Structure 1
């Protein structure tokens, strides 16, 4: 890398010196033309205004008197040549004898029109001045010229200065190149360009080949890198480089984890039906890398396991309740109190039939009705009464809506049971199906939800003292909200002698 940088820097310095040399040469040529042009014009005007020259041009017999005037002017002025010609440009006197009697080249001169002119003719810078006779006619032409220098004449005339400039520029370029190469070497951890390119290729292959999602962020929380898995898990568009996290339509929970406002390992977030586990690692001096793992299938299995566990708990609660009733019946038989035994059996049967009958009368969906019957046994074991609101009216619904309704209702009832754990109380459920909306209201006699966290309870991972006091309202409520939103509905909570959760879903 050092050799490459040195070579490139030397090439840059050489190109710069060449450009400076050309620029200086052009400037020198322009300055030469300006200064020498004025000097040659002055020489030609002086010769054209000399009375002896005018007199000699007026009389052909006196043409032989012109050379002394021209040579004298050339010697005194230092001009390269001073020539005198007739109006038809035939040369009468010239430093070069071969030019005498020959036409004088005039180029684009305007001297034939009676106007002085300065310009380049061949390899000379020439000034042409007309000689005017007594009657105002042109009787001759005076041309004073000097040879044009070549482009790098200035450099040739001062080679020591040119070499000094070249040497200084070379030293500066080489020294700068070595310093730059050394600094770049430190910043690239001592790796050569080929090694860096190979590392980038390996990184790209690794990022797009792993099963985990990877998102890179800069110091302003803008996306700098997204692999294929992260793009799929987060449902990101194709073009995300440089886009701030806040402009990608993420929910608050997901945005908090990506930007680092929510700290901690294995943060769980929800994104369009997926349950993601995210970890954020800051990178100095600014930026971060976030990794994502899809836990949707694991959560689905966990929910299925929870459902089986709930069924087992329900069966256990029913077995426990049934065992207690058998013990009571056995005791009454041993006591011989057959009248009380008959009344006890009637009460138990009546209560069981009454609850099942009420559920069957007001809830027409078998899955939802079965869930309510099962949750009643769990609530009874915990010392909590589960009841239906008299206004409940739910008919038969399609199986997909039934599955979502079981999820929402089960989570809300479990949440109420958690809030009443260790306390005596009651839970009331109201299910209604009106026009194009299914409405679920679950109220409990627990401590309620603090108003300042009424929205936070639906976000998994929130941590406030009030939330901890309010009980575990985490992933279950987050899934409830996600289910309702997917059904174009909503879920909210308020307090009315306890917490009141209201969920709405479209069929």
Structure 2
């Protein structure tokens, strides 16, 4: 039989109802028991006080001393109407009734067996016994004559069924209050259940436990280090990759302040600013880390910050491979397309019996590419950047453009702060922008020069496009801004972002003749 799993709100309601019910039963039982005992004690004291008062009444003393049953009954009848006692019975020294609520009992012996201490010792007592009126609580007092001798006994009693009726009344009240509290607890439990489920995103405890286990497994499965803090800066979450990457040892990190573990962390600053940071590079213990920091918001309020990070070398290696493959693919595609055209031309010349012209074309192609390859080998140290330039050179030929590279250009080993991928992005996007601008104006020439002499790397690209309008100078590097087509305007924005991140400068100006010049100044050392 499948196990029935109750919802958390239902279980909460049942627990609260049972708690209220148990409390009501225990407290109600204790209260009723205490009430019964208290009523018995109060009634007993009232009975003995009333008995003593009646026994000291002069008329009663005289009538009992004279053993006058008629006079005693008459006086007691008047007294009984003025009290709430169940009965008042008076007997003489021998225990024979002189007054009783039932006239036929007068003249008969008193029953209960509790008159000895009163008649023989002259003491006032309280007793519980079953008499002729039934079970009762009695107060008994001796009657003295004028010379101080005991001449009779006064017995004032309250039937126990009166006490039972009073307790029953309170029992009904307790039951009513218990049922009211039970109904109230159902409503409160229902409200608490709804609020509780809303607070835990309408999840059941077993679902939360499963998510917790899944979250732990996910944290440990990713290769990026992950650390999260709460709004007080205390570490709440971390994974093994974070410990290994930052070499945090084997100490427990949960509950420790982030400043204590990582003094230079910017995570506490995000608690105040609330601005996320993406792909920020930082030098930590001699290694460059690429870090993302994102504030955690709950109902619009910042409750913490989570940071993920990875050693830049790993990202650089992957990015370098992807960039190299992309550049090689572009170079091969351009070369294949261009050489296909050349081969078709050579084949046509041969068919026209123009062998000399065919040989001249072959020699020219060989000389151009050999010259380009020799310049790349001599002037550019980074092979990925060389591949990018060769690919753009072939792409220009494919588009019918002429890419002129200043023969005096030189680009040695890149500084530590300027990665190969960033340099390829800068050169590639500037040349692509120049190709588009030159083609749109119907021209052919693009010029490139590079130098790393001095404190800066300077890259300059000139095109023969329509130039930049005066109103566009302030917007040319905005993301998505383009005069060409939808979906463009990304390349120059990336160029501006990279140059700014490296602490450099990009200058754009229109040429006197036609076109525009973009000049990058990249410092070799960042401060």
After TM superposition, the score normalised by the length of structure 1 is: 0.46
After TM superposition, the score normalised by the length of structure 2 is: 0.44
